[in-house]
Structure 1
């Protein structure tokens, strides 16, 4: 009898690879949550609901639904401003935070004195069954709420800390055992196994298809040292009529790469992205970097891995790609 701890090994071939970006190649979840928290509080909405609803979808789609009065002719400018705010949060130096978890658990836009937005309630953007995101940096929702103390300075794309911020530069004596000292780091990071996997892929064999617009996509990739591939389909591509969970971004990336979608491998982390990848007809590898396994294992992905360290690729003699997955 084979031991239950013996790993399962799968091998298959493909002609090209399509990567989602955030949560798959890079981890900018802390900065993204900070930006959506700021936007939620600006609109008088619950940050946790907005964060859970927006992951994996284009900022343009999210903003159009969050702000019913948003005009289409203004959306490109709003998306650019929002995505610049993500990068500004990402470039904010780490700060120490001393605060009581108990007090933060009860804080919300309605209890913290935030002004209420004139816009209507949040339209459900995704099924609650998808569950809340699991930050790959393991930041708690409490810390996400505390991001509201960061303020954008639009004049120079910088983030400043409000005077009543819970983030303190100098250490203070902590007498309450429930109070903790946490460092909130919102920098963009490359995820485990990504650099090695990309190095094993020949130029012209892979592409990126992301729900982020060009500003955000290129900003994240360059901050982690990932070379922007020749084929990089972003949310503001004028050829795209629909974003994820529709397969359009992946189908367009496969076309630009010159690969039959059925002969492509897609790496994804979010429910909406996995659904898009499955709909594209490709071999789908789901990565448990932003969601727990039980939140994404039922969405149709062919393989589910914890990190890309479990995936190896070799160039075949016929020019194709041979994959080995330990899962």
Structure 2
């Protein structure tokens, strides 16, 4: 039962199902850098790839993007890709600055030695390591290549603005911090929930999920459904991840509350029958307020939880 007043809504539930990235944690800069690198490897437009992949399993994305990728190779490539995200997140901005400088100094020799029609690839692309053609780069290659692409973009923008780098301070200001961060309101909300009353259901695989949670000091819950769970047949926007998480918690999905930020995740939550609270962390309100979420909030600071004597959770939403 839900009770609504002018600016608040109150209802009860038996448990909580959290999406992870974009809901609990923010690693969007590192994720977008990794997909940018992957798009460049595949000769695709990075912005289109980033838009198409948000909120979906990396395995589903890679199967769609990479021609001829065999199913038996998907798990390995997902693990490598998600480790590259964490590598981006763990690279200090100062180190990235020096990488940019190295990339710029190397660009002249690379450019002068290739035809204008020859695509730019990392130096190690010609290594003897046997890989699927679309996955010929190591994580180190991916980091170096994306640092190069980002530094190239920064330089081009500076040239267009007629404001080339004058000193290290100006260069530092243009470097993006890709570290994983906890989002507003998350810690207080999780701390207000009894143990065993909440789970994580994410489109990330175990390596990425546990890596992000540990980097932000969020305790990994006992129920954590990741994209590589062998019991999971379909990912978001299908409801399977939330249905499985609810089952592992021992609750009816229709008595669960789903927190999500992406359109595909919101659709999955709605399809599961849960009460869905969408949070405007990765998308603007107008992009997600018509997908079916029961409530839309700016941050999780707007959500409070009380414990009732009968074991239920009372939610108070300020919106």
Query: Cα offset for 1:115?
Result: 5.3
Whole-Å separation in 2 of the counterparts to 1:28 and 1:275: 22
Matched pairs, number:
271
Query: Cα offset for 1:182?
Result: 1.9
1:21 aligns with 2:20: yes
1:310 aligns with 2:286: no
Q: Highest CA radius of gyration, 1 or 2?
A: 2
Contact persistence 2:80–2:139 (CA under 8 A): no
1:114 aligns with 2:113: no
Query: Cα offset for 1:51?
Result: 0.2
What is the TM-score normalised by the length of structure 2? 0.79
Unaligned residue ranges in structure 1 (runs of 5+) = 1-5, 99-110, 117-150
Distance 1:65 1:158, change over 3 A: closer
Query: Cα offset for 1:177?
Result: 4.7
Counterpart in 2 of 1:92?
Answer: 91
Query: Cα offset for 1:207?
Result: 0.0
1:235 aligns with 2:227: yes
1:63 aligns with 2:62: yes
| Alignment counterpart, residue 281 of structure 2, candidates 274, 280, 289 | 289
After TM superposition, list the pairs within 5 Å mapping 1:222-261 onto structure 2.
222-261=214-253
| Alignment counterpart, residue 140 of structure 2, candidates 141, 153, 165 | 153
What is the TM-score normalised by the length of structure 1? 0.77
Question: Alpha-carbon deviations, 1:255-282, whole Å to 9, x = none?
Answer: 0000100000000000000000000000
Counterpart in 2 of 1:323?
Answer: 315
Whole-Å separation in 2 of the counterparts to 1:163 and 1:308: 35
SS at match of 1:184: coil
| Alignment counterpart, residue 189 of structure 2, candidates 194, 197, 204 | 197
SS at match of 2:292: coil
Question: Alpha-carbon deviations, 1:66-91, whole Å to 9, x = none?
Answer: 00210000000000000000000000
Q: Which structure has the highest helix share of the two?
A: 2
Whole-Å separation in 1 of the counterparts to 2:34 and 2:307: 40
Query: Cα offset for 1:25?
Result: 0.2
Unaligned residue ranges in structure 2 (runs of 5+) = 102-115, 122-137
Contact persistence 1:89–1:159 (CA under 8 A): no
Counterpart in 1 of 2:106?
Answer: none
Contact persistence 1:44–1:115 (CA under 8 A): no
Distance 1:222 1:158, change over 3 A: farther
1:221 aligns with 2:213: yes
Query: Cα offset for 1:166?
Result: 5.0
- RMSD of the TM alignment (CA)? 2.9
Whole-Å separation in 2 of the counterparts to 1:113 and 1:252: 48
Counterpart in 2 of 1:43?
Answer: 42
SS at match of 1:13: strand
Distance 1:112 1:214, change over 3 A: farther
Distance 1:163 1:260, change over 3 A: closer
Counterpart in 2 of 1:8?
Answer: 7
Deviates more, 1:299-308 or 1:88-97: 88-97
Distance 1:113 1:182, change over 3 A: farther
Whole-Å separation in 1 of the counterparts to 2:225 and 2:144: 28
